[in-house]
Amino acid sequence: MKIVRNPRLDVDASGLSDWNKPENRRWGFHHLWQMCRYGLIIRSPYVLALEAAPDSRIPALSSVREMTSRASFSGLAVVQHDRLLFEAYAPDFGPDQPHSMQSITKTSMHFVIGRLVDEGKIDPEKPVSHYIPEIGSGYAAAKVQQVLDMDVLNNFTEDYAGSYEFDPQPGVGVSYLRQEIAMGWRLPPEGESGMSMRGFTATLVSDDVENRSGLCEYRSPNTDLLGWIAERVSGRTLRDLLIEIVEAAGIEGCYYISTDCDGVPVVSGGGAMTARDLARFGQLFVRWGAGVDGRQVAGQRFMKTTRNGRGPTVNNCPYEVRYSNQTYTNGSWFGHPGFAGQFLMAHPETGLSIAYFGVLETPDAIDDHTFNDIMGMSQDIIATLGMTR
């Protein structure tokens, strides 16, 4: 009997999984929810019904026309409260197809942690070791607030095109591509066993966790660590906490999220939804954390603090954006990007949530200009539909 390593999850000399190679990435992002080694599906019993209410001002915007005509474009949905104002899709995508939303998944921890902070169960000024004594030096001395704000220094590097092999030389760090093994998105090297997300996170080290640059130090394991803290202080599983968030959003389709080998959801980037459902999810920001059934699933004080100009500056962004409590914010909207071209923006004052899916097919799939362009388009929509700020 002959067996081979799963070709979609295997890795060659390029360091990239087959699904994430530039020539396969678009297909991969449209189907990543089907390819992960382990996963969880959540469906809401009650759906936020959307009334079709096309607003001709949106497609008339030059930024919308430009962003929806790009080769990288997959889908765009604009929702205002319970009205679907606009949607558009690429020929190879559609309204019923889930799309990997990558780091937009992180916003779920904004709701979960915020509620626990408002309830007094988490003190953001305490060190991580207060809640997770077994954590390694990469986080032990860091305040929870530093983790929330992507404001911690350790030996993890958010390098999407780095070496597949772990190089222990000083100054090299642990690549994000190593984390993908724990995420179940790629196979470990021959002869090496897999790892859990929490096991991986606990191995990170640091001589000094303080970030003195004033700039965001983006590290995906921060978010999975927050999920660990949430479980520890609430006594509930991360699965159950996510179910509560998804049900509060009232999504129509399925919320897919990859899990590690222990069944722990990968809240740093494992989520996938349709564009409409991502816009529905964004309405949780608009409603200040109130669910479609009226239950409060977020901390309102925490959410309002998030927009008050705090947090490190997001580098190379022209819109005065800071990273605050697992969100991007300019003091007006909440948002978050996703690797390779996704963005969610929500603006409570106008009731708008804007979900954009795209897939960059460049070698490293990183392009600050693309994210800035998506943010610019989203701000154009908000301004056109009534933003005064």
299 CB-near residues (< 8 Å, 6+ apart):
114, 115, 116, 117, 118, 119, 289
Lowest mean per-residue pLDDT among 104-108, 167-171, 217-221, 266-270: 167-171
CA angle (222 as vertex; 216, 225 as ends), nearest 5: 160
Q: What are phi and psi of 85, to 5 degrees?
A: -85, -30
The residue assigned the tokens 């992180």 is 106
In angstroms, how far is CA 73 from the centroid of its own chain? 18
Apex 168 CA angle, 166 and 172, nearest 5: 85
Confidence at residue 295, expressed as pLDDT on a 0 to 100 scale: 92
Residue 47 and residue 281: Cα distance in Å, rounded? 11
Given strand 99-102, what is the order of strands in its sheet? 39-43, 254-258, 271-273, 99-102
Give the CA angle between residues 142, 366, 113 to the nearest 5°: 35
What pTM value is reported for the model?
0.96
* Over residues 41-64, mean pLDDT: 98
- The Cα 47–Cα 261 span in angstroms is 31
The full length of the chain comes to: 389
* Residue 163 to residue 175: CA distance in whole angstroms: 7
DSSP track, 86-136: EEEE-TT--TT--EEEEGGGGHHHHHHHHHHHHTTS--TTSBHHHH-TT--
268: left (phi over 0), alpha (psi -120 to 50) or beta: alpha
Q: What is the pLDDT of residue 387?
A: 53
Lowest average pLDDT, out of 63-77, 172-186, 290-304, goes to 172-186
Digit-coded pLDDT (tens) for 121-139: 999 999 999 999 999 999 9
Structural domains in the chain?
18-384 (3.40.710.10)
pLDDT in tens, 169-228: 444 567 788 899 999 999 988 888 888 999 999 999 999 999 999 999 999 999 999 999
Question: Which H helix or E strand runs over 353?
Answer: strand 352-358
pLDDT higher than threshold 60 for residue 165:
no
**Which is more confidently placed, 357 or 190?**
357
Q: What is the mean pLDDT of residues 268-297?
A: 97
